[in-house]
Amino acid sequence: TMIRRVAQAAALVLPFALGAAPALAQTELTVQHALPLNSHTGVGASTFKEALERLTGGRYRVATQRNDNEREMVESVQIGTIDCTFTSTGPVGNFVPEVRLFDVPFLFRDAAHARGVLDSEIGQQVLARFPARGLVGVIWIENGFRNLTNSRREVNTPADVRGLKIRTMENQVHMRAFTTLGALPTPMAFSELVPALQQGTVDGQENPISVIVANNLNQVQRYMTMTRHVYSPQVMICNPAMIARLSQADRALFQQAAREAQVANRARVSADDEAGVAELRRRGMTVITQVDTAAFQAALAPAFAEWERTLDSATLRRIRDWR
C-alpha cells in the first residue's frame, strides 16, 4: 500500500536525515555523583564520561546525574538501577565494613600520604572486599580533608565543640569521634543538610573546603575552623553485573577512564583547597586557621583506643608508618 511505501522510504531516508552513523551497538551507562557538576565530584564524573566515550569511540555513552544522598546511590548501584556512583566513604562502611579504616580521624598527614596509601596495595586490598558485598570498588578518588563549620561560635579548642549539634555523614566512625568531643552528632544525607542548618536542627557540619565553597554553605554557616580532622576519601563504585558484561579490552578502557577521572578530581580538590579560605572569607565567613591539632588528637584518645580494638589495627599501623 501507499502507506507502507512511504514508511519504507522514510526508513531509508531518515537515518541520513538525522545524521546517524552506520548502526553501532551502543551501551548506555548511568553514573551518579553528589554536588554540582562544577565541583571536584562533578569534574570526576564528567571526566570519566568524556574519557570512556572517547576511548571506546562512542560505543559507550555515559549519563551523569546528581544525587546528594550517597547511601541511596550505593543502594541503587547494588540493585543495579544505576551503574556506578562517585561517593564519599561516608555511608560505604555500612556496606563494606573494611572501608571504615580510612574514616579514622587524623590518620593521614596530608594529601600525598592519603593518595599514596589509597593507590598502594593497601587501597587495593580494601577495594578487593567490595565484591563480597555485591559491589565493585573501581578506584579511589577524594573529597579532601574535612573542616568544621557552625553558626554558634568560633571553635578554637576541642572544648568549644562541646554541646554543638553537628550533622555528620551516616558513618559510625565519624559519629564516635564527635561524641567523644562532647558534640551531639546527627547523621543525615547531604541532601537534608541545608534545611537542617536553616531550621536550627543542627548548629554545624563538617566538610572539605571544596564542598563548602561549591554549595555556598557560607550562607548558612558563620564560622569555619580548619580542623582537617579527617581525610574524606571518595570511591567509584559500580554494579558487578555491569562490570562482568565488559569485554577484557573494554575493562581496561574503563579503568583508564577511571584513572583520568581520579587525576582530574584530585587536581580540583587541591585547587579548591588553595583558593578556598580566601574565597570563604570574601563571602563573609570567619575562618580560623590556627588549630592545635595535638589538642584535638588528645581529646580523641578514648575513640582511638576503641578503633584499635574494633578496626584492623595492623593495617592502621601500616598506614601511619607509610612514607
Q: Where are the alpha helices (DSSP H) in 120-203?
A: 121-127, 172-180, 193-198
Give me the 194-213 binding string for ligand PAF, x by CB under 6 A, dash otherwise: -------------x---x--
Q: Is 93 in the site for ligand PAF (CB under 6 A)?
A: no
- Three-state SS for 165? strand
Q: Is 70 in the site for ligand PAF (CB under 6 A)?
A: yes
From residue 153, give the alpha-carbon distance in Å to each of 44, 129, 150, 260, 286: 34, 41, 7, 41, 10
CA 155 to chain centre: 26
CA 207 to chain centre: 11
User: 173 or 211, CB closer to ligand PAF?
Assistant: 211
Contact pick of 138, 169, 202, 235 for ligand PAF (by CB under 6 A): 169
User: 119 or 192, CB closer to ligand PAF?
Assistant: 192
> How many chain residues bind ligand PAF (CB under 6 A)?
12
**Closest CB 313 distance from ligand PAF, rounded Å:** 26
- Beta-carbon contacts of residue 149 (< 8 Å; ≥ 6 apart): 204, 205, 206, 207, 212, 217, 221, 223, 224, 225, 285
**Closest CB 45 distance from ligand PAF, rounded Å:** 12
Q: Is 95 in the site for ligand PAF (CB under 6 A)?
A: no
Q: Is 90 in the site for ligand PAF (CB under 6 A)?
A: yes
The four Cα atoms 256, 261, 263, 266 give a dihedral, to 10 degrees, of: -150
User: 70 or 273, CB closer to ligand PAF?
Assistant: 70
Closest CA to 232 of 312, 112, 146, 127: 146
User: 60 or 190, CB closer to ligand PAF?
Assistant: 190
**Closest CB 245 distance from ligand PAF, rounded Å:** 28
Residue nearest to ligand PAF (CB): 88
Q: Is 103 in the site for ligand PAF (CB under 6 A)?
A: no
The residue to which cell 574503563 is assigned: 254
Q: Is 31 in the site for ligand PAF (CB under 6 A)?
A: no
**Closest CB 89 distance from ligand PAF, rounded Å:** 9
The residue to which cell 587541591 is assigned: 270
Show the cell assigned to 69.
Answer: 544522598
Q: Are 86 and 66 in contact (CB under 8 A)?
A: no
Q: Is 217 in the site for ligand PAF (CB under 6 A)?
A: no
Contact pick of 46, 143, 149, 218 for ligand PAF (by CB under 6 A): 143
Q: Is 34 in the site for ligand PAF (CB under 6 A)?
A: yes
- Beta-carbon contacts of residue 139 (< 8 Å; ≥ 6 apart): 127, 235, 236, 255, 258, 259, 261, 262
**Which positions lie near ligand PAF, rule CB under 6 A?**
34-35, 68, 70, 88, 90, 143, 169, 190, 207, 211, 232
